Structure 1
Amino acid sequence: MIIPLAISASLDVTYEVDELRHGDITRPNAVTRVAGGKALNVARSAAALGAEVQAIVALGGPIGDWVRAMLTDDGVSATVIPLRRVTRTCTAVVESAESTTSTDLYEPATALDVDEWDAYAAAVRTLVGEAVALGPAPWVALSGSVPPGVPLQQLGALLGELRARGAHVVVDGSGDGLRATAPAAELIKVNRGEASELMETDFGSAADACRALRERFGADAVVTDGVAGSAALIGEVEAAVPAPRMRGRFPAGSGDSFLGGLLAAFERGEDARSALAAASDAGVRNALVPGQGRLAPAS
């Protein structure tokens, strides 16, 4: 089982336009909406690849209700912790048929009150405990920003507790949230800039960053590096993952789909090299269609 921890969920909207007119009206040619935030993108891509997924998601207000309905439509099982505040909206604007980048507007993560965080943490302990008891050990994935109201020390301690109880813990984050959670991780998935910020070192390559993360945290690592591709250090396997030859129009969410593909392959029992190939394929397929965490049909 894969258990994404979606504490910073969102409604993700993709607008396709001919040209973004700054300071004027731009009318989209197409609009795609998905249940988003990095953890739900991981959940959707992993579920699409056949993995057993049970997300734990904090949602509030009418937008939160909409996101919850979208998860059901996508076939993603979710335990929902209700919030008093309204779930945020994040927007990606994709210009012209030739574009391979997007302009992204991301609202801050929706804050949690103390009792909401306590309810969220309790739900995580219960679900992960049940999954560990049933076996095999679940993959618990924390992806994205940490909202206001979530105590970083408590979050790191919670992940450490889950790992001590037998769960595999994966983190994909940045800044203070990553610093608080990396020590509990079995697998750290970041880009080279995030790794450099965490380690306070400007790494010359993704491979160097993987080795440094292993040395500091004793964790497996996957470090992405844009057009230079990615590097991975998983167990005794040190691998380079070349940048995809095909670059799609919709790059937002490709890193999350990469992680979803990786965890889905691990859940199937695949080895590190096969899992990395599956992850790379999922990232490419995400970029071919609008909607973060959605995958184009396999070729």
Structure 2
Amino acid sequence: MIIALALSASLDVTYEVDELKVGDITRPFAVTRVAGGKSLNVARSASALGADVRAVAALGGATGEWLASMLAADGVQTVVVPLSRVTRTCIAVVESAESATSTDLYEPATEFDAGEWDAFAAAARIAVAEAVARRPIPWVALSGSVPSGVPLAGLGELLGDLRTAGARVAVDGSGAGLLATAQHADLIKVNRREASELLGVELASANDACHAVRERYGADVVITDGVAGSAALIGTVASAVAPATRLGRFPAGSGDSFLGGLLAAFERGADAADALAAAADAGERNALVPGQGILADPE
């Protein structure tokens, strides 16, 4: 089982336009909306690949209620922790010209108050306890930014408690949030820039970053590096993942789909090489269609 901890959920909107007219009106010819934020993108992609997925999601206001209904339609079972503030919206604008980038407008993660954080932590502990009772050694996935009001020390303590309870923890983040959680992770999946920031030193390649993060934290490591591909240290196996061969127009969410594909493969018992191949395929398929964490049909 995979339990996605969605602290920073969002309504993710993708606008497809012929050309973005800065300072003028641009009318999209297609709009895609999903229940997003990195952890929910992980959950949706892993579920689409057949994994048994649960989400613990902090959601607020009418937008949060809409996201809960979207998750239900996606087949992702979700424990909702109510927030008093309205869940944020994030926008990706994709132009018609062939490109592997988009113009993104991301609101800050929705703020928590102290009682909401306590409720979220309690819900996460219950979800893991239930998962361990049903099927030993679930994965817990924590991805994305850490909202204001979530104590970094408390978040690290929560992950440590979930590991003690029997879960394996995968983290994908940046900045202070990654620094607070990396020491509690069994798997760290970040990009090369985030790894450099974590260690406070410029790392020249994904391979260098893998070894440096492993040496510091002792966890399994996957480092993505854009068009240069990815590198991984999983157990004693060092692997390189070739650059994508299918460069889609919708890159937002590809890293999350990569992690969802990786954990879904681990859940079904795949070895490191097969899991990384499945992860790379999921990331590529995400970029081929609009909507973060939505995968194009396999070829």
TM-score after normalising by structure 2: 0.99
Residues 210-249 of structure 1 correspond to what in structure 2 (within 5 A)? 210-249=210-249
Q: Shift of the alpha carbon at 1:133? A: 2.2
Hey, what does 2:98 align to over in structure 1? 98
The Cα shift of 1:97 comes to 4.2
User: Counterpart in 1 of 2:176?
Assistant: 176
Tell me, in whole angstroms, the C-alpha distance in 1 between the residues paired with 2:189 and 2:140. 13
Alpha-carbon separation, structure 1, partners of 2:68 and 2:53 = 15
Say which is worse superposed, 91-100 or 5-14, in terms of deviation: 91-100
Amino acid at match of 1:68: A
Q: Secondary structure at the match of 2:58?
A: strand
SS in 2 for 1:201: coil
Residue number in structure 2 paired with 1:254: 254
Q: Distance in 1 between the 2:101 and 2:212 partners?
A: 30
Query: What one-letter code is carried by the residue in structure 2 that aligns with 1:221?
Result: V
Structure 1: runs of 5 or more not aligned: none
2:149 match: 149
Contact 2:136 2:166 in 1 (8 A): no
- Structure 2 CA distance, aligned partners of 1:151 and 1:100? 36
| Aligned amino acid, residue 173 of structure 1 | G
User: Partner of 2:214: helix, strand, or coil?
Assistant: helix
Task: Find the counterpart in structure 2 of residue 267 from structure 1.
Answer: 267
Give TM-score scaled by structure 1 length: 0.99
| 1:29-40 equivalence runs, <5 A | 29-40=29-40
Query: Considering only aligned residues, what root-mean-square deviation do their CA atoms show, in Å?
Result: 0.6
User: Secondary structure of the equivalent of 1:8?
Assistant: coil
* Helix, strand or coil at the partner of 2:281: helix
Distance 2:164 2:77 in 1: 25
- Secondary structure in 2 matching 1:57: strand
SS in 1 for 2:289: coil
CA distance in 1, matches of 2:135, 2:16: 43
Q: Which residue matches 1:81?
A: 81
Tell me how far 1:132 sits from its aligned partner: 1.4
Counterpart of 1:102 in structure 2: which amino acid? S
Whole-angstrom distance in 2 between the partners of 1:21 and 1:97: 14
Aligned pair 1:289/2:280, yes or no?
Answer: no
Identity of aligned residues (%): 72
- Residue identity opposite 2:222 in structure 1: V
In 2, Cα distance between the equivalents of 1:254 and 1:188?
16
What is the match of residue 166 of structure 2? 166
* SS of 2:278 mapped into structure 1: helix
In 2, the alpha carbon distance for the partners of 1:219 and 1:196 equals 16
Q: Give the deviation of 1:134 after TM superposition.
A: 2.1
Please give the alpha-carbon distance, in whole angstroms, between the structure 2 residues aligned to 1:241 and 1:220.
15
Q: What residue number does 2:189 align with?
A: 189
CA-CA distance at 1:135 after TM superposition: 2.1
